[in-house]
Structure 1
Amino acid sequence: MKRLAFMLSVAPMALFAMPVAAQTTTAAVDTPTVTAETSAVTEVVVTGLRQSLRSAQMIKRNSDAILDAVVAEDIGKLPDNTAAETLARIAGIQVERFSDEANRVLIRGLPDVATTYNGREIFTAELRRVQLQDFPAQALAGIEVYKSGTADIVEPGLAGLINVRTRRPLDFKGGFIGGGVRLTYNDQTKKRDPNGNILVSDRWDTAIGEIGVLANATYAQSQYRNGVRYNNQWIRQVSPASSVSPASAGNSFYYPNSVGLYNDGGKRFRPSGNVAVQWRPNDKLEVYFDGIFQGYRGRQATDNLDVNLRDWDSAVQQDPTLTNVTLVPGATDQAAGFTKTGGVAPQAYRSTGADHTNTYQGALGAVWRGERLTLSTDLAYEDSEYEARNWSLDSAFTSAPTVVVKFNEKDGAAFDLTGFDAANPANYYWRGYYERHYIAKGDGVQWRGDAVYDTGSSFIPQIKFGLRYTDRDASLIQGSRYAWVLPLKIALSSLPVGQLQMVEDPFRGNSQGFTQYLMPTREGIAANFTALQQRSVAALQQLVALNPADQGYKDTLKAFSSPDVPLDQGGAFSATEQSYAEYAQAKYAFDVGAIAFDGVVGVRVVQTLGEYSGVSRVAANGVTTLIPRTIKQNYTDVLPNISLRIRPADKVQLRLGYTQTRTRVDFGALNPALNVSQVVRDPNQPVDPNAPAQPNAYGSGGNPDLVPLTSNNYDASAEYYFSSTGSITIAGFYRDLFGFTSNYTRRVQDPVYGLIEISRPENSGAGKIKGFEINAQTFLDFLPDAFKGFGVQGNVTYIDGKNQFPKTLGGDAPYVRITGLSKWTYNAALFYERNGVTARISYNHRSPWVTDYRQATDGSQYTGVGVRAISRLDASLSYDLSKSLTVSFDVANLLAKPFENYNNYQPNRTYPVDVRYEGRYYGVGMRFRFGE
């Protein structure tokens, strides 16, 4: 078999070493920096898919923690663009996708995932984590998924911890240059995007010791356009004033308030880079520097058309007329479709946006290795900012066309606007103009010091202890303004936005009849926002003159009088937080007869001190008052861990483990500020003493009383390693947890406002998650020689997770299925590697999950919105032209099955919500490497 060269390209570099204790992979190149936070690390050179599977299997087998690893060839041989996409192939992990990429990662059904970069905490702006889709696959050396923690690593989240790794120069034997280029094509946008990276590394023996320098730069780009046809989730009864035919349909049926199209599109590109410097003055001491820049740039153009089916048009005093009404078979109160004339005209918008993230992290550290004692330290600083601007232009049809609609055509809404000339500019009014400015920032310092002592004892061979300190700042402020100008009936074509064009048609098949209408281009809006501001001011001045008593128009005119969007102190927040951690952990080992036992026992103690500030906005009697609020928190977490590994035979091992974890609440959720609108009642209006009490105010905001999410975690596994690349593992897990945060609405007695109905995040009650994972992989070496290059890999995960609604909502706090959790996830891959050819086809399936719940009239909870099962198929092929050059082809989302969800507006009464069509991505690339 031709040796497959390990490369940097669209495929990232190999995952050589995992930061876990007791790893004993065979070293083939120099050992990189070792720290107690990341434990001892060694390396293997990855020269092909077979070797990468061997390396990942060895990492899992020798780890003290419950984890899974992905090596470079696993990422490179799969058509993955980001770290989040790759994670979807690991047992126990589920992802949610939007805008043609994975953007939410769950580990064993839990979303609260901590993220680290080379063992250090990393975050984005005001968040506590980094967005894993912001890590281009070609920038990574590897990914580690900790499903349970140990005391010597940064505290995992409730779900676990994901660590991404990059290379260091002393990992190479000498000078090295590698990289690659890749071109992708999206069959939905019909556009092509470049991707690529280059890494340069070298090392030298000098008079002051060995020195190595590495630099890596990456660029990833994609253009996307997802088409959605939808039913509005607001289900309404037919208007009593509407004419309905045939008469047999009755006049009491229900249907969605509107149907529509939502086309999410845009361009995103991610420049990133990292540098590493190592200095080894002697065999005992190493000093290093790590630096990373992670960037994101987005240019959005999202279209929405909403076709109202229910409301009364006050301008012409007309209720919609419904003809050809059909009912859902077996139902007398649920419409399947009809023809609608009259009523409210359709409305549309094109929302354009530009946003960016800039994240910088630099770290300086040192390691000293004695005969038995290893000391290490690491000091890092990070700064991150996210900024977004939006410019949205709204339109409305000049009249209501005839709408022919079916509410469940191929699992979704389908409609046509008969007789409507969509290409005629005279059929569109300007409805309004919206602007938004959003700024979030965060920075932080983190330091740690660790010691690892090899005792020489066979029973307790190693002891670890260390300290860690962090200091975080986070802030957010935003502002928006909207000019509603529809009453002036201004032609859309008269605006300073250039030529109107038909929006793109992103739909597959012919289920949806009406797909295109006129709108300005993205640049026509985003590049002319100053002219649109001026045009909005002129229109608002007209409206103020026509409505001199309307304060709302006056306030809007004032908001548009400034050249930029005024930032609103109401709703802004800031936070400062310090944490102090100390840990101690010991490794133990003993034999009972021929059976070997070992494991670790440890505890991590973390104290958190935080101060969180915001500005409440209170509106009453036409006057808005801003009230600053600040709260403080001070709490300590004690997080023990204990694990046991039993090895009855060389190829078999059993594991048992217990850990405690906790996840701090996001800064934004802790914002103590409220937005409150007090109700003004007519004092002359009599009060019905028998009527339920009505709120004196309505409000929304954060919740400073939220507590961290906590969990007791129990793990067990049986692992059989029958060859260097073949294994079967079975793992079971149970989580006893508390404190999910979700938004809920409830009524409370406030000392200032009295009875207030408030929507804010609350801690849920207790929760329980149980499940199992089965994982298997092997090359089929028992086949005849011509087929020995084939291999298989697969896993299945079952998760049953429930949690209680918050007790603060009253009632018995019933258990319901955890939102976002699929019971079943499958991954299967067939691969081939021989004579320079590497091919792989991979299948992923995720079973249905629940998005949110609703409350029935009897107080019970039922699924409000759920998501149907989804499957993906990806394939890749590469060939080594030489030891230094490889060409590749891949396709992602080959099945292109649409995303579908549904709305239970009442128990046993369901309508589809979205049918979302996503793109297939085809890629061709070339990878190169020179040096060792």
Structure 2
Amino acid sequence: MGIKSCFRYSVCVSALAISQLATSAYAQDASPPPASKDTANNSTADNGNVIVVTGLRKSLNESEAIKRNANGVVDAISAEDIGKFPDANLAESIQRIAGVSIDRKNNEGNGVTVRGFGPGFNLVTLNGRQMPNASSLISDGITRSFNFQDLSSDGISAIEVYKTGRADVPSGGIGATINILTPRPFDRPGFHGTLSAKGNYDTTSKLGGKITPEVSGVVSDTFADGRLGLLVSASYSERNSRRQRTGTQGWVRNRGNRSNPNLDLSAIDTSVNPTQAFWTPWTVDLDVADSNRKRTNAQVVLQAEPVDGLVLTADYTMSRYKETTQMHRMSFWFDRPDIATADKNGTLVDVTTLNDQLNFWSWDYLNDTRNDSFGGNIKWDATDNLSFELDAHTSTAHSNPGTKDGQAAEVLADLKNPGTSVDINGTFTGVIPTASFDDSALGGSAYDFSNIVSDLYQVRGYEVKNRINQVQFSGQWKSDDSALRAINFGANYTDYKVDTLTEATFRFVDVPLTGLDYSYIPRGNILNAFPGADKLFSQIPNYSATQFVDLVKNAGQFALDPPQYNGVREKTWAGYVSLDLETDFHDMPVKIDAGVRYEKTDVSSYSIANGIIALNYRHVQELQVIRDNTPATQNLYGGYSEFLPNIDFRIDLTPNIVARASYSKTIARSSLSAMFPQTNFLNSRPGGPFIASQGNPNLLPYVSNNLDLSFEWYYKPSSYVSVGLFRKWVDNFIGATAINGPIYDVNGQPLTDPSVNPRPGCPDSSNPPNPACLSQPSDPVVTWQINTVGNLKSAAVDGVEATIQHVFGDTGFGIIANGTLVHGNVNLDPYDFTQTLALTGLSNSYNLVGFYEKHGLQVRVAYNWRDKFLQSLGAEPINVDAYGQLDASASYQINDHFSVFVEGLNLNNATIRRYARFEQQIRDAEQYGPRFSFGVRAKF
């Protein structure tokens, strides 16, 4: 960082400070480096007085300085040089920090969990600004935090993780507030530039080439005697990848005929499961998903200092992220088992269904996201003691624009064997399931295309637009003449708005498959990291879901349901004041930061959907919701206000030992989709269950009272030990509630069930619907389970985290090791079927990093491990097994301008496994394989 650089939130780090830190640190070393250029330790010494550390050692020193000088508990990762961040993925970098774990998507770091609190409980900002997020994939949901996959690491200068609350830090993170910093031209005066080109090699990729390009560059310069500065950064990357999965679509409690003599429940341990509850798997699946991802990032920053003390900054940041996926699945459904055996927990571990059919699935996914941010900043040193800053930006994230014009986020097709002529079996006693079937009664193989007919299709368009307008004002009065060193004050306004458009059509169809390009993918070495993979399906169908839907259109059986709109808008006004105090206690320096932040948030939400007319008995497995052609708007309102105090106490027990104590109150805002007022129909099949959901915009934010204690020993250059204790008392946890009752049509009449006593000719898949198959007043009224959410309970989380960073003198070797133990007081009870709250994301974790940097050679090996944890509760919980991943990188500095590098991720071919209540209840077992990259970097 340059001398003018001042990180937000009062953490100031300059090139001068770093140089002084390194110099003073080396001064304590009994064997200082010689007074000459020494590529052995990547430093340059001038007559033995000033030492400038570069490379990985420089990054470690800067991160250490941020941690040591901060008020409260702050960890950081700094770039080794402009355009050179330690990891290719920001989430992969941040997981190296104690207390930070990540979730992975397509074998890349995605969501961040801090101290056991998942992505929804952490706020991610870019240069102190709250940034929007959007994804067109239903599985991603609508989250508040900026998505790490959208942003390349090449244009990042540092990441700060604020684990304790501060009055001048934006609210929204209970686990942490994570601030991503990008470089500014005034940070490093003069001309600087880097260019990097590499190839990414994915070992499992089958879609396109295995090697894909990635290029990036950063150019920065200052002009007019340092009064003007311009920085431009850009990057483009492409990746082909394959996800391999087996598992189930979920587990259902007590699905099956308990009186069936072939349902063996004798092994159930009634001491823990007295009702002999049992769980049936929906399916056995074997998937392959081939994806192509293209990501473009760019940033332009213009700075000017027309007069001393007045710095003007204008910036534009953009990202374009486009991912297409073709997924294929071999599967069968256990609608109700004919023969089954339960284990001691009640899991049906051996399940057989007679006279059924296999399912041959295909999906086409599209996620096209565009992010744009325009910002401006004014910093003014009005006097030697008084300074002000004004920052404003307008930012948007727009996913799948054009959905109303027919752009689909998901196209699903399912084929099946005709009639009921296949006996199917699945066993669930191992790490992954096994699958087998008897197709002897079918007449030819169940895989023969002549024995396959159409079943259903689904087309879903999903468009999300998130817009944030934000203005932040801050000021500081400072003095060196008294114990009161600074008064910090400020105010800000945030207008947060998210709008969604959903077009979802689901139909059972019967169309000829003539012209469908159909083949099979041999199982081959799919899931070879799992024992027992050879006992799954021998092949997987391979056809285009989009081509199948075209056949449906040509047959005149395609229909599109009316679109639905949902949105939330939050307007937040905030103000804060804090005091920085410095004094001595028995000759030990003491620093105290105390402040309070006040926030007031107004919430409005809306839904627009066509009115409900009736239920249509369209298929033996489908009760279709029929709507009219008149959109109706539903609006709901809410709001809340909070005082958020904090106090940070720091004492330097010795020149090298720092002790801290902090108290803060922080909040995290509720899930956006939980506040949509619209009624969603989740299940309306003949015979039930009948399940719907509705949001609640009056949800209060999660409120956490936090206590932190930490001790840090900076015992030698680039080396320290840190131990921290924390406890969080969290109120307003959101839990699921449900009411049973009717849902009313546009005329105020309850919906009725036309499938109970069907009229002649029903079911009927005609379009338009057969009037005889529609709900009529004489039909039985449907009693729906209407799920909603509310602020129900409180919980507490405590833990300990420790870090050691050690450099072995002048050998070039060093290690970083950290670990976190975390515990909560509301855990999942697998036998409590009424449980509405359990703490998700809580897990122990550790990191081990070894590195070598000398004679131009840099080598780093990192292993990250995370223990098993509860991912979600829902109707049936989802747990994630323990996961450990080994990564490595190496680079060689050819000369002052060029270096070459190679990186390897997931070298141990780690696998991800998720399960429901018990480990035998597998949900997903995924395998991605290792990834490699190699390239060259130029610096000029």
TM over 0.5: yes
8 Å CA contact 2:251–2:280 kept in 1: the answer is no
Deviation of 1:878 (Å)? 0.9
Residues 160-179 of structure 1 mapped to structure 2, 5 A cutoff: 160-179=176-195
**Higher mean displacement: 842-851 or 66-75:** 66-75
Partner residue, 2:389: 376
Q: 1:900 offset after TM fit, Å?
A: 1.9
1:657 paired with 2:670, answer no
Aligned mates of 2:146, 2:685 — CA distance in 1: 44
Residue matched to 1:348: 360
Q: Distance in 1 between matches of 2:685 and 2:282?
A: 30
Report Cα offsets for 1:587-627 as digits up to 9, x if no partner. Answer: 00111221111121111111212322124676465464765
Task: Identify if the C-alpha distance between structure 1 residues 344 and 854 changes in structure 2 by more than 3 Å, giving closer, same or farther.
Answer: same
The corresponding residue for 1:469 is 493
Alignment of 1:233 with 2:269, yes or no, is no
Query: Offset of 1:676 from its aligned partner?
Result: 6.8
Amino acid at match of 1:428: I
Q: d(CA) in 2 for partners of 1:15 and 1:188? A: 47
Task: Please point out which of 865, 869, 872 is paired with 1:849.
Answer: 869
Aligned mates of 1:725, 1:56 — CA distance in 2: 10
Indicate if the aligned counterparts of 1:106 and 1:159 stay in contact, CA closer than 8 A.
yes
Q: How does 1:546-695 map to 2 (within 5 A)?
A: 559-560=559-560, 567-569=562-564, 572-615=565-608, 619=612, 621-622=614-615, 624=627, 627-675=632-680
In the aligned structure 2, how far is the partner of 1:160 from the partner of 1:839?
Answer: 30
The CA distance in 2 between the partners of 1:918 and 1:141, in whole Å, is 30
Residue 279 (1) aligns with residue 308 (2): no
Q: Does 1:89 align with 2:108?
A: no
Change (3 A) 1:617 1:333: same
User: Are residues 75 and 224 of structure 1, via their aligned partners in 2, closer, same or farther at CA, if it must alter by over 3 Å?
Assistant: farther
Q: Look up the SS of the partner of 1:139 in the other structure.
A: coil
TM-score by length of 2: 0.80
Cα distance in structure 1, aligned partners of 2:452 and 2:683? 38
User: Could you tell which deviates more after superposition, 629-638 or 747-756?
Assistant: 747-756
- C-alpha displacement at 1:894, in angstroms? 1.2
| Inter-partner Cα distance in structure 1 for 2:245 and 2:787 | 29
CA distance in 2, matches of 1:332, 1:118: 50
Q: Is the 8 A contact 2:570 2:603 kept in 1?
A: yes
1:27 paired residue among 12, 16, 21: 16
CA-CA distance at 1:271 after TM superposition: 0.8
Partner of 2:77: 70
Q: Give the Cα separation in 2 of the matches to 1:431 and 1:748.
A: 32
SS of the residue 1:136 aligns to: coil
Secondary structure at the residue paired with 2:154? helix
| Matched-pair identity in % | 24
Q: How far has the Cα of 1:284 moved from its partner?
A: 1.4
- Aligned-CA RMSD value: 3.9
> 914, 925, 928: which one pairs with 2:935?
925
Q: 2:126 aligns with which of 111, 117, 137?
A: 117
Counterpart of 1:793? 816
How high is the TM-score relative to the length of structure 1?
Answer: 0.81
Q: 1:728 to 1:629 in 2, by over 3 A?
A: same
Say whether residues 1:457 and 2:481 are aligned partners: yes
The CA distance in 2 between the partners of 1:633 and 1:246, in whole Å, is: 51
Partner of 1:204: 223
Q: Structure 1 residues 172, 853: CA separation in 2 closer, same or farther (over 3 Å shift)?
A: closer
Determine helix, strand or coil for the equivalent of 2:356: coil
Give the C-alpha shift of residue 19 in structure 1.
2.9
User: Distance between the aligned counterparts of 1:16 and 1:80, measured in 2?
Assistant: 23
Q: Does the residue aligned with 2:325 lie in a helix, a strand or coil?
A: strand
Provide the rounded CA distance (Å) in 2 between the counterparts of 1:78 and 1:22.
20
- 1:53 positional shift: 0.8
Unmatched 5+ stretches in structure 1 = 1-5, 7-12, 32-43, 313-319, 541-556, 561-565, 683-693, 806-810, 856-862
Shift of the 84–282 alpha-carbon distance from structure 1 to 2, 3 Å rule, reads same
Counterpart-to-counterpart distance in 2, 1:679 and 1:332: 30
Alpha-carbon offset, residue 302 of structure 1: 1.9
- Residue of structure 1 equivalent to 2:379: 367
TM superposition shift of 1:164? 0.7
Please name the residue that 2:413 is paired with.
393
Q: Which residue of 1 aligns with 2:808?
A: 780
Are the counterparts in 2 of residues 613 and 671 from structure 1 also a CA contact under 8 Å? yes
> Could you tell me whether the CA contact under 8 Å between 1:95 and 1:104 is conserved in 2?
yes
Whether contact under 8 Å (1:237, 1:252) holds in the other structure is no
Question: Which of the residues 241, 244, 248 maps onto 1:224?
Answer: 241
Residues 434 and 482 in structure 1, CA contact (< 8 A), matched pair in contact too: yes
| Aligned equivalent of 2:139 | none
Q: What is the aligned counterpart of 2:65 among 58, 68, 80?
A: 58
Moved more, 209-218 or 121-130: 121-130
Q: Is the 8 A contact 1:176 1:201 kept in 2?
A: yes
Cα distance in 1 between the residues matched to 2:572 and 2:682: 37
Contact 1:239–1:310 under 8 Å retained in 2:
no
Alignment partners' CA distance in 1, 2:836 and 2:81: 39
The Cα of 1:61 is off from its aligned counterpart by: 0.3
1:484 matched to 2:505? The reply is: no
Distance 2:653 2:232 in 1: 46
Q: Among residues 485, 490, 512, which one is paired with 2:533 in the alignment?
A: 512
Distance 2:15 2:392 in 1: 30
Q: CA deviation at 1:144?
A: 0.9
Change (3 A) 1:921 1:160: same
Residue 904 of structure 1 aligns to a residue whose secondary structure is: coil
Change (3 A) 1:359 1:796: same
State the shift of 1:131 in Å.
0.9
Q: What CA distance in whole angstroms lies between the structure 1 residues aligned with 2:712 and 2:800?
A: 13
Of 75, 83, 99, which aligns to 2:106? 99
- Secondary structure of the residue aligned to 1:408 is coil
Which runs of no fewer than 5 residues in structure 2 stay unpaired? 21-50, 135-141, 269-275, 401-407, 616-625, 751-782
Aligned residues: 825
Of 733, 741, 746 in structure 1, the residue corresponding to residue 734 of structure 2 is: 741
In structure 1, how many angstroms separate the alpha carbons of the residues matched to 2:635 and 2:219? 49
* 3-state SS of paired residue (1:51): helix
Give 1:24 shift: 5.1
1:55 counterpart SS class: helix
What's the offset of the Cα at 1:109?
1.0
Q: For 2:723 and 2:396, locate their aligned partners in 1 and report how far apart those are by CA, in whole Å.
A: 41
Measured after TM superposition, the shift of residue 578 of structure 1 is 1.8
State how far apart, in whole Å, the 2-side matches of 1:230 and 1:413 are.
7
Q: 2:111 is matched by which residue type in structure 1?
A: R
1:259 to 270, 273, 284: 284
Checking the alignment, whether the CA contact within 8 Å between 2:253 and 2:278 is kept in structure 1 is no
Distance 2:598 2:896 in 1: 50
Give the one of 844, 853, 856 matched to 1:833: 853
Q: Which of 497, 500, 509 is the equivalent residue of 2:519?
A: 500
Instruction: Tell me, in whole angstroms, the C-alpha distance in 1 between the residues paired with 2:266 and 2:726.
Output: 55
Tell me, in whole angstroms, the C-alpha distance in 2 between the residues paired with 1:677 and 1:617: 17
Distance 2:571 2:819 in 1: 40
Check conservation: 2:83, 2:217, Cα contact below 8 A: no
The CA deviation string for residues 764-822 of structure 1, in whole angstroms up to 9 with x for no partner, is 410101001001101111xxx6xx111110101011123499xxxxx999796512211
Tell me if structure 2 keeps the 8 A contact 1:18–1:144: no
Q: Which moved more, 1:881-890 or 1:448-457?
A: 448-457
Q: Distance in 2 between matches of 1:345 and 1:750?
A: 34
The answer on 1:884 being equivalent to 2:873 is no
Residue-by-residue CA offset, 1:340-398 (whole Å, 9 max, x unaligned): 58421111211101121111111112111131111111121112211252222211134
Q: Deviations over 1:80-137 (max 9, x none)?
A: 4321222222111121223212222111111211111111111114643211222222
SS at structure 1 position matched to 2:224: strand
What's the counterpart of residue 701 of structure 2? 708
